[in-house]
Amino acid sequence: MLSSIIKGVAAGLLYLHQDWEQVVIHRDIKASNVLLDEEFNARLGDFGLARLYDHGADLTSTNVVGTMGYLAPELARTGKPSTAADVFAFGTFVLEVVCGRRPVSSSTEEQVVLVDWVVENWRTGSITSTRDARMGVEEYEAEEVELALKVGLLCSHPLPAARPSIRQTMRYLEDFVSLFCRVLPIREMNDFVSLFCRVLPIREMNGMGKHVV
């Protein structure tokens, strides 16, 4: 069920970004905009904020729109919608599905940002401890959860150029059902997540704060 939901949304985003005759930037990817059928197949809905562009066109600046917690950090500076910003929101959505937590939540007096919380657990070698406690503990599912968490972190990288395209993301997600092809993608993702952790202090020094803009 986990992979079906995540891959369903990714497949829809792939069609919007690369496979249709124009580029569609959704700009409001979040859990409440994902529809599930009776077999838990996911479909991306609510295109009220979407923008259409020709492939290869220079995207124009616009007012920042979207939902707090899913907004890519660069939107605060550029105001430009982009496929990379959609990928960031998708990454946050993946982490939300796997962890069973909102992108931004309050714990006692401290505001907790989901992406940063998962990164901190990855740093301490306990990334799978962030999974939703309601999930099972089977070995295959544990591997599936770990891969999903790493894909979520990759997609929500603070630097847009370091995020994978949605097509590359789909290639990683296909490894949910391809055990023999996992070694290389996971090794590549570990490198990306290591870069993510090195970039965090730079992000803070630049005044970007947390992932919420």
- Token pair belonging to 88: 């960031």
Contacts of 5 (CB under 8 A, 6+ apart): 34, 36, 40, 42, 97
Tell me, what amino acid is at 74?
A: E
Of 85, 20, 73, residue with least CA distance to 49: 85
Marked catalytic residue, from 19, 28, 58, 132: 28
Q: Three-state SS across 52-116?
A: EECCCCCCCCCCCCCCCCCCCCCHHHHCCCCHHHHHHHHHHHHHHHHHCCCCEEEECCEEEEHHH
Two tokens at 175? 């490894």
Q: Which residue type is seen at 116? A: D
- Tell me how many helices (H) and strands (E) the chain has: 7, 6
Tell me, what amino acid is at 180?
Answer: F
DSSP 138: -
Whether 28 is catalytic is yes
Hey, which residues are catalytic here?
A: 28
